[in-house]
Every structure is written in structure tokens, then in C-alpha cells.
């Protein structure tokens, strides 16, 4: 039952979470079903013991928290953070390009995708659009998802590129333009976008639109061991954080999840982790419970989990991994360490996670990068510099990170859900 629920929740989020804005909207749907109440960050808050709340400061960002017990501020708070965005292609302004008999779209790279994996796949478009409104300072914002394959980026046949299998550079401006139709088709992409929104093209002032892989999640392997899907980075973590905040019920204390946008491009935006907004949220929580309380005194005893995917060991490329600390798909959650703090950790935090895993019988693994290779990074260290509490980076191991289609173990989503539930429940 746990397996079916974990995988079905993840599948539902991936199916509908085709842009950061849609990830947040789908997450809110799940929170509302569990009785969470919406708050506005611009208003004063009066919070109650036992309360369950969420707020959406920006379209791609979401915070949710629970107030456990009558004296919640007397117990150390628990925080967990993940990101709602993923590597993709974004559509530029004036997107339609008609030349050489075809209609293509003008796109740019968002984040660090494995570009060749986006070729020869059914692609769709999702995001948000700003329309005219009577109030200039409040345009009409609409979310849109075509939810059908409308684009494709065809590869060049090997007969015309004999060295293709030796590695061919991809020029983002030239080679990544998705094919949308033929040049003699009268309706432009903007015409189709207006049709989806039931408006005229002249009503469209601007947009933030992502080209995404339309492939569905599939369970693969002789015994159904793996999940192959777009957007595992980082919707696996978003799904687990939602599970934790919904099911975690400590006797006392505040539980908080933060879902940030723009991690894939450095987080230095108003809706990213490297912003003052998280501190503002926490101050409002403390003051909403006790206007006389000191925010920092109540927060500094807390702990933060930075939850993001980890690199699984690839059997075909063993030389790029550490010889010992190389996690496998399906063998448990991953605790990440890095001497340069690209992943946030200290031995105290790692010990706490290992203690939870031991108590609740959750398998865990360790990841450390090859000493001669450049490692990745997450929002964990950045966020812990703004909120100086014990912080640990964890996640599920995946193969083909940043591919249009990534691979993970089915059991690992169950393990991650279990760990977040335990983290937010343990007294």
C-alpha cells in the first residue's frame, strides 16, 4: 500500500507539474485536500495550535507549515526545502520562426539540461501568460499547459552526420529550435497560445513558457525495479516534502516545508532560496503565535533538510565515481557530503539522519564525489547561510540527472517518504 501510494502521488505530481507554477498549483490542491488553510504574506497572521497553513508568495514558490501542540515555540522547529524547477528549454519573445519551409520556435536553455536527450521526443509547452487587464499594475495572469505533444526537435540523420556517435556539439541557437509545423500553416504559435487561453493575440503582453518532455512516467525493469520519467529532479523531493508535512505529527513544535523556484539557475531571485523571503516567513510564523517572542531565539535550535536528488552509480561509467561512496538505485535514500560544502552537511546532522533511518528501518547510503571531478551543489548551503541551523543534504539516487528522462528505484521514493514522515513526527 505504501509503495502504491508513494508512486501514485509522484506520478500525479509529474503528470501535472509541467512547470514550476503547475508544480505549486498541484501541491496546493493536495494540501487543501488535507485541510491546510491559505495565508497571505502581506497580511497579519494569527496562528492557532494544531493549525495547518500554506502561502504562495510567488507563482513558482510555496511554503507550508503546521503548528503542533499548545507550546510549539518551546520545541526546536523542523525545516525541509526542495525546488520546483527543472532543466528545460524556455520560449523566447517573438517565438515564431518561419524559414526553409518549416515553422520553428525560438528557445533558450534553462538550467543545465543534457541537451541531446531532448531530441526526437514528443514535447509540449507549459507555463504562465500575462494578459491585458483594466489595472495596468495587475495584469491578468493565466496558467497554460497544452498537455499534448505539439513540438519535436528532430536529430540529423547519421548519413548526413557520420560522426554523430562520436559526440556532436549542440549549438543552442541553431540546433534546438523545436519543429512546430510547416511554414505554409497560417496559424502561428502565438495564435495557438491565444486559442488555449480563449483570448486574442493582442491581449498577450508577455509569458514564461517552458518546453517539456511529454513522455509519461513508466515503471521499468524485469521485476519493475525502476521508475523512468521526466522531472524526477526534483519532483521526487517535492512529493516527499508534501507527504512529510501532511503526515508528520510531532507532539510539539513547528514543521515547515519550503519549495523554492530557480534552483537550477542559481537561486538568486526573489522566489529562489537565496532571498530574504524565507526569513520573513519564519518571523511571521513566530509573531503569529506570540507577538512578544524573539524570532531568532526560537529558530536557531532548529534543523533543516535540503532535499534534492543524488547521483546514482552508473554501471557503464564506474571510473567517474568514488570507489566506495557510490549509491545504487533502489537501495535507500542518500546522505550527501562534500568537503567544499557544495552539499550542506556536518557530522551532527548526518548522525541525526542515520539515527532516524536506524529507528524507522529506512535504508540509507552515502555519496561523495570522485576526488578528481567537479561535484554538484544544492540550495542547502545557501539556505543554511541565511538560516544558520544544522543542515543536511539528502535525496533519492537517480541516473541520467538533467536528462529529458531520468531513472530511479521505485523503492527509494517510498524510503524518502518514510524519512520525511519520521523527521516531521519524531519528538
pLDDT tens-place values along the chain, 427 residues long: 566 699 999 999 999 999 999 999 999 999 999 999 999 999 999 999 999 999 999 999 999 999 999 989 989 999 999 999 999 999 999 999 999 999 999 999 999 999 999 999 999 999 999 999 999 999 999 999 999 999 999 999 999 999 889 888 999 999 999 999 998 887 999 999 999 999 999 999 999 999 999 999 999 999 999 999 999 999 999 999 999 999 998 999 999 999 999 999 998 999 999 998 999 999 999 999 988 887 677 788 899 999 999 999 999 999 999 899 999 999 999 999 887 877 888 899 999 999 999 999 999 999 888 887 777 778 888 898 888 899 999 999 999 999 999 999 999 999 999 999 999 999 8
The CATH topology of domain 2-86+231-423 is Aminopeptidase (3.40.630)
200 in Cβ contact with 209 (< 8 Å): no
Q: Which residue, among 278, 251, 253, 273, has the nearest Cα to 263 in the 3D structure?
A: 273
- Alpha-carbon Rg for the chain, nearest whole angstrom, is 22
User: What's the confidence (pLDDT) of residue 135?
Assistant: 97
Matching fold, domains 2-86+231-423 and 88-213: no
User: What's the confidence (pLDDT) of residue 381?
Assistant: 87
| Nine cell digits for residue 11 | 506520478
Q: Which residue, among 277, 285, 280, has the nearest Cα to 253 in the 3D structure?
A: 285
Q: How far, in Å, CA of 375 to CA of 65, rounded?
A: 32
381 in Cβ contact with 346 (< 8 Å): no
| Cα–Cα distances in angstroms (integers) from residue 167 to residues 146, 183, 354, in the given order | 33, 31, 42
Q: How far, in Å, CA of 124 to CA of 193, rounded?
A: 12
Has this prediction a pTM greater than 0.75? yes
Q: How far, in Å, CA of 338 to CA of 347, rounded?
A: 12
Q: What are phi and psi of 32, to 5 degrees?
A: -60, -40
CATH (residue range 88-213)? 2.30.250.10
Give the side-chain half-sphere CA count within 13 A for 391: 24
Domain ranges of the chain: 2-86+231-423, 88-213
- Give SS3 for 274: coil
Amino acid at each position: 500500500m505504501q509503495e502504491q501510494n508513494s508512486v501514485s502521488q509522484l506520478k500525479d505530481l509529474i503528470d501535472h507539474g509541467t512547470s514550476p507554477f503547475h508544480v505549486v498549483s498541484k501541491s496546493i490542491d493536495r494540501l487543501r485536500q488535507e485541510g491546510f488553510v491559505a495565508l497571505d504574506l502581506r497580511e497579519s497572521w494569527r496562528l492557532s495550535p494544531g493549525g495547518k497553513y500554506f502561502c504562495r508568495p510567488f507563482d513558482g514558490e510555496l511554503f507550508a507549515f503546521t503548528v503542533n501542540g499548545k507550546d510549539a515555540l518551546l520545541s526546536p522547529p523542523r525545516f525541509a526545502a526542495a525546488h520546483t524547477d527543472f532543466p528545460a528549454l524556455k520560449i523566447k519573445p517573438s517565438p515564431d520562426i518561419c524559414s526553409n519551409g518549416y515553422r520553428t520556435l525560438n528557445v533558450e536553455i534553462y538550467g543545465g539540461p543534457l541537451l541531446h536527450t531532448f531530441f526526437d521526443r514528443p514535447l509540449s509547452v507549459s507555463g504562465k501568460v500575462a494578459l491585458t487587464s483594466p489595472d495596468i499594475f495587475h495584469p491578468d495572469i493565466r496558467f497554460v499547459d497544452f498537455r499534448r505533444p505539439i513540438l519535436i526537435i528532430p536529430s540529423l540523420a547519421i548519413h548526413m552526420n557520420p560522426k554523430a556517435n562520436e559526440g556532436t556539439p549542440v549549438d543552442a541557437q541553431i540546433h534546438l529550435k523545436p519543429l512546430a509545423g510547416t511554414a505554409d500553416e497560417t496559424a502561428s504559435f502565438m495564435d495557438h497560445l491565444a486559442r488555449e487561453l480563449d483570448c486574442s493575440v493582442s491581449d498577450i503582453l508577455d509569458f514564461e513558457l517552458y518546453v517539456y518532455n511529454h513522455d509519461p512516467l513508466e515503471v521499468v525493469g524485469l521485476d519493475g525495479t525502476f521508475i523512468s520519467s521526466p522531472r524526477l529532479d526534483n519532483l521526487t523531493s517535492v512529493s516527499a516534502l508534501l507527504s512529510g508535512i501532511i503526515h508528520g505529527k510531532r507532539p510539539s513544535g513547528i514543521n515547515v516545508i519550503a519549495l523554492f523556484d530557480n534552483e537550477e539557475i542559481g537561486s538568486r531571485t526573489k522566489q529562489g532560496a537565496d532571498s530574504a523571503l524565507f526569513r520573513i516567513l519564519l518571523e511571521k510564523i513566530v509573531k503569529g503565535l506570540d507577538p512578544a517572542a524573539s524570532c531568532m531565539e526560537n529558530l536557531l535550535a532548529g534543523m533543516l533538510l535540503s532535499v534534492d536528488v543524488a547521483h546514482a552509480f552508473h554501471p557503464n561509467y564506474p571510473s567517474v565515481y568514488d570507489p566506495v561512496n557510490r549509491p545504487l538505485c533502489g537501495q535507500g535514500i542518500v546522505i550527501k557530503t562534500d568537503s567544499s560544502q557544495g552539499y550542506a552537511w556536518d557530522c551532527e546532522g548526518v548522525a541525526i539522519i542515520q539515527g532516524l533511518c536506524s529507528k524507522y528501518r529506512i535504508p540509507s547510503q552515502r555519496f561523495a564525489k570522485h576526488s578528481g571531478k567537479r561535484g554538484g551543489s544544492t540550495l542547502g548551503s545557501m539556505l543554511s547561510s541565511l538560516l544558520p541551523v544544522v543542515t543536511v543534504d539528502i535525496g533519492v539516487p537517480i541516473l541520467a540527472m538533467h536528462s529529458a528522462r531520468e531513472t530511479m528505484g521505485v523503492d527509494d521514493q517510498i524510503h524518502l517518504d518514510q524519512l520525511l514522515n519520521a523527521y516531521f513526527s519524531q519528538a
